[in-house]
Structure 1
Amino acid sequence: MALLDLDPGVVATARRLAARAAAPVVALARGHTTVAVERATLRLAGITGADTGHPAGDVPWVNRVVDTVRAHCGLEHGVVLPVFHALRTHGLATLTDLAEATAAGQIRYTLPKGAERTRAARAATTAVNRGLRAIDRNRATRDRLVARLGDPPCRPWLYLIVATGDIDEDVVQAANAARAGADVIAVIRSTGQSLLDYVPEGATHHGFAGTYATQENFRIMRAALDDVSKEVGRYVRLTNYASGLCMPEIAVLGGLERLDMMLNDSMYGILFRDINPVRTFVDQRFSRQVHARAGIVINTGEDNYLTTADAVDAAHTVTVSQLLNEHFAQEAGLPDPLLGLGHAFEIDPKVPDSFRLELAHALLARELFPDAPLKWMPPTRHMTGNVFQGQLLDGFFNLAGVLTGQSILLVGMMTEAVATPFLSDRDLALANVRYVLDAAGGLAEDFRPAPDGLIVKRAHQVLGEAVDLLGRIVDDGLLAAIADGTFGLMRRPPDGGKGADGVIAKADDYLNPAAAALEAR
């Protein structure tokens, strides 16, 4: 039931302006590829493994092949034509064989023409389609498991983080968290992995404030959560990060290993990791197409803006980002039920009426995006180390989530900003959530903000400010707005940032069977 009486005309204007603001960026993304998109395509075609004998450390075979193709004949026509032409002309059986021969300097990549091009394109399409069918099978498996084991009895789903650095220890913590009531397990990625232009191989047992995102780590955790799902009688979902310089590759690996949610924001990497804007927008479009195919819920990162900008003054920038993320997702084929837009409980508790303002912002998000599984983030910026106040703030956060019908609730920790949480901290946090859900889970049906009260007026004010900002972005351009520090006070010029050298303008005859199949859907 709508509680804010939002003007449908204003809402429609906001969406129309978001689409206009996004259109030049979408055109830019359509006209370019990146080294990560090309690597993701070869991963779908079946390439795995790494060159373990390299003096600089393990180098994934997919990086070795893509870098060599680029050096020999460029990537503007796509990587698959030179690769599958070389596979045939050298009589090699697998892409791994080709990668080994490439590392040994035995392959000279060329762009095939005529009948040779047709044969290479046909072979590439067959191989890529096998990868896409594997993703389709995983989606069907998820549907069967959910049907058999069931979902949590009610929303919000409780989202809990594990991040030890050791995948084996993560499994122990994740299983115990699920037994204690967590519905979604997020494996936080090792600090700095988003800036690696390759995906590490194999299981990992060391990390920095997190565990490396690898295909093998995905497989291990998914298998462990399948086991605990049977034990607790509900399907426990797995989350990781499809962000950074390898966003498309990690999206593919998530689909191949049946992850259920992935963090995927259109601007987070630009703003908070200083990744080149064009690289990010190209990569996120392809990765979201993969998520749509895999049935993976994305989580966007608007909550991060409020860790650097004031949560009251910058509230409208969150709404603008949500509208842009919605359009980028829908344009890439991602339906609303997979659109986990982010927002957060980050207003300074010293601000008068802070809880009422939080309710206004949360209700605005809920009513603007009624079919999206919103992800509600707990307080972090104003957690001081006072664990008693922290537990109280988290209780208010949980209550706001219940009152405003949030879908995915990231469980707040009273030890936020003090230490990496222990299992005991997680247990107390889950007890906090359970108390609020048990005591006030149905309170939303009684909650009716006054039509002329602060909550309703504030929501209308934020929406109006968002429309004004979107109008300015349409006039000046989204890339210019990002460069000016509009979001999160971060200034990122379009030609700056990491990974800019990995962006390639497509030739007229560019070929990528993965992109073609995903576009068709």
Structure 2
Amino acid sequence: MAPQRKLDLDPEVVRRARRLAARAAEPIIEMARTHTTVSVERALLRLAGLQGADSEGRPWVNHLVDTVRDQVGLEHGVALPVWDALARGPHASLAHLARDAARGRISFRIPTGSDATLATGAARGAARSGIARIDRRRAERDRLLREVGDPAQPWVYLIVATGDIYEDIPQAQAAAREGADVVAVIRSTGQSLLDFVPEGATREGYAGTYATQENFRLMRAALDDVSRELGRYVRLTNYASGLCMPEIATLAGLERLDMMLNDCMYGIIFRDINPRRTFIDQRFSRQIHARAGIVINTGEDNYLTTADAVDAAHTVVVSQLLNERFGHEAGLRDDQLGLGHAFEINPAIPGSFRLELAHAQLVRELFPDAPLKYMPPTKHMTGNIFAGYLLDAFFNLAGVMTGQSIILIGMMTEGIHTPWLSDRDLALENVRYVRDACAGLAEDFVPRPDGFVVQRARQVLSESIELLEKINDDGLLTAIAEGTFGVTRRPADGGKGLDGVVERAPGYLNPAIEILDAEDPHADRAERLEPDKKEVPA
């Protein structure tokens, strides 16, 4: 059910904001459509089934893409040279080809004529096979939701990340039994800066657990077990950001994750990843998310950890509008846009709760069909656990009053240490109490017409339009370079990963992008429920 309209926003003002966001996004979309990256090319090979790594942990997809790049470049993509080499033999699979490429035993070329036609057909078949596997995983989710039931919103979102996947699993199952509807496994610190995806199950990670295909598989299976036990589907979240965004998105689709953190600017601002690399990788990632039925979570909440939550409120709205446009262009529906925002206003400011209500209600009404993700206070948690627990209760109350969709539980020990399991239990008790005691309160909360909450919301929307006009004049890459979002300045030609960006040449081929561009990601297809007719060996 769509939320009530309580702020009486001018529809034409809202339409103007969206038009400006679409215009600002267009040059970025064009750049993403005319360039590729090393990670986009590796993602194609992962879709085709290539897995594994050498004895030092370097994935075979990295070896294969790097060898192709060194010999013939990536301007035409990896599909033509790789499947041409397979056709010329004697390699029976991508895995054998990758091993020989790593040993320097392969000479790649850009095929022409009938050789190019043969390679194109084989590459398209391999990409189709991988996307069919993603389709079947999506169909599995649909069946499980029908079988075990979908919990009512707001969904309670809880983080688990010990560094050891085998420790994460029992903690995640315990969290589900205590009321968590969404379990997020935070990645090990620094993984976003790795230009490869580790292989296998991992048991060591700093402040998080590595995102790997095997870790995804293990956690999804564990949450399926507890979903059947509890009679409600428990969703799994991880992070599709960083230098391997397209690959992690692909692995998430193959292993049926339900949500992925995927923001248009988070990696740029907070991890100093090159803006061009990020936007190009992001488009392919979101196309995979759309096809897999994955809900993205965007990262606007992070801006308020570095910028003032009152002064910078409009930058959150602008980023949400941009994320919406980028998401729609990549095929995401409104119900896959888990746009982020946060309860981060200094509680010492008089009327801080009214300001929070104004901001939260504005976002709710601007994106009525989006499963908004509301983040708890972190910046102003002082170490006073009693005040922190109270502040988290106010956050939970604001979430219920304004009809937020996903509520991440706040920890009273935030900023002191990694929370204990007992802290998590108390946090879940807090959100359960407020959610149950205030059930339906969103229906009764109606701000006074032209009162403080309404006027503040309209002010933030007006400031958002002013900023979007400036971005249209200067360009989004310039705005990011000037520190518009989250204060931090990130120039378009700076940061990590720019050397992995390649402009596409005429004749560029990536059959996965061809399929994702050409087909409706949400169309019902019978083949999602059928086994592959033909698997391409990896």
TM range (shorter): over 0.9
How much does 1:104 deviate? 1.7
Matched with 2:528 is none
| Residues 453-472 of structure 1: pairs in structure 2 closer than 5 A | 453-472=451-470
Does the alignment pair 1:30 with 2:29?
no
The residue number in structure 2 matching 1:62 is 61
Query: What is the letter of the counterpart of residue 37 of structure 2?
Result: T
**219, 225, 228: which one aligns with 1:230:** 228
Q: Deviations over 1:396-427 (max 9, x none)?
A: 00000000000011011111111111211111
Match of 2:179 among 172, 178, 181: 181
Shift of 1:91: 2.0
Shift of 1:35: 0.2
SS in structure 2 at match of 1:160: strand
CA contact (8 A) 1:411 1:433 kept: yes
Which amino acid in the other structure matches residue 291 of structure 2?
R
Aligned match of 1:390? 388
Mapped partners of 2:28, 2:285: distance in 1: 15
Q: Secondary structure at the match of 1:481?
A: helix
1:245 and 2:248 correspond: no
1:7 to 3, 6, 10: 10
User: What is the one-letter code of the residue matched to 1:354?
Assistant: S
Q: Which runs of 4+ in 1 moved over 3 A?
A: none
Count of aligned residue pairs for this structure pair: 516
Return the offset for 1:267: 0.4
Deviations 1:309-333 (A, max 9, x none): 0000000000000000000000111
In 2, distance between residues paired with 1:491 and 1:438?
43
Q: Structure 2 CA distance, aligned partners of 1:508 and 1:329?
A: 26
Report the Cα offset of residue 90 of structure 1.
2.1
Q: Does 1:84 align with 2:83?
A: yes
In 2, the alpha carbon distance for the partners of 1:258 and 1:264 equals 16
> Is contact 1:343–1:376 with CA below 8 Å preserved after alignment?
yes
Deviation, 1:443, is: 1.1
Alignment of 1:157-176 (within 5 A): 157-176=155-174
The superposition leaves residues 240-259 of structure 1 with CA deviations (integer Å, 9 ceiling, x where unpaired) of 00000000000000000000
Q: What is the root-mean-square deviation of aligned Cα atoms in Å?
A: 0.6
Q: Classify the secondary structure of the residue corresponding to 2:237.
A: strand
Q: Separation in 1 of the partners of 2:388 and 2:267? A: 29
Specify the code of the residue in structure 2 equivalent to 1:392.
Answer: L
Query: Partner residue of 1:129?
Result: 128
Secondary structure in structure 1 of the residue aligned to 2:407: strand
Query: Which amino acid counterpart does residue 269 of structure 2 have in structure 1?
Result: L
- Give the one of 41, 49, 52 matched to 2:52: 49
- Could you list the runs of 5+ residues in structure 2 that have no partner in the other structure? 520-538
Deviations 1:245-296 (A, max 9, x none): 0000000000000000000000000000000000000000000000000000
Which whole-Å deviations, capped at 9, do the CAs of 1:58-77 have from their partners, x for residues lacking one?
Answer: 10000000000000000000
Alignment of 1:130-279 (within 5 A): 130-152=129-151, 154-279=152-277
TM superposition shift of 1:341: 0.2
Aligned amino acid, residue 157 of structure 1: W
Partner of 1:93 in structure 2? 92
Confirm or deny that 1:357 pairs with 2:360.
Answer: no
Q: Does 1:18 align with 2:16?
A: no
- Give, in whole Å, the separation in 1 of the partners of 2:420 and 2:161: 10
d(CA) in 1 for partners of 2:441, 2:23? 39
Task: Please report the TM-score for the alignment, with normalisation by the length of structure 1.
Answer: 0.99
- Ranges in structure 1 where 5+ consecutive residues have no aligned partner: none
For residue 240 of structure 1, give the secondary structure of its aligned residue in structure 2.
strand
* Match runs of 1:359-508 below 5 Å: 359-508=357-506
Partner of 2:43: 40
Q: Please tell me whether the aligned partners of residues 240 and 261 of structure 1 are also in contact (alpha carbons under 8 angstroms).
A: yes
CA distance in 2, matches of 1:417, 1:105: 50
Distance 1:142 1:248 in 2: 21
**Which digits, 9 at most, give the CA deviation of each residue in 1:146-177, with x for residues without a partner?**
0110011x210000000100000000110000
CA contact (8 A) 1:3 1:449 kept: yes
Q: Which residue identity lines up with residue 209 of structure 1 in the other structure?
A: A
Taking the TM superposition and a 5 Å limit, the aligned residue runs for 1:339-358 are: 339-358=337-356
Secondary structure in structure 2 of the residue aligned to 1:68: helix
Asked if structure 2 preserves the Cα contact closer than 8 Å seen for 1:46 and 1:128, the reply is no
Structure 2 distance, partners of 1:446, 1:105, is 69
Alpha-carbon shift at residue 504 of structure 1 (Å): 0.1
Separation (CA, whole Å) in 2 of partners of 1:22 and 1:320:
11
Identity %: 71
Equivalent position amino acid for 1:279 in 2: R
Q: CA deviation at 1:97?
A: 0.6
Partners of 2:104 and 2:323 in 1: how far apart? 43
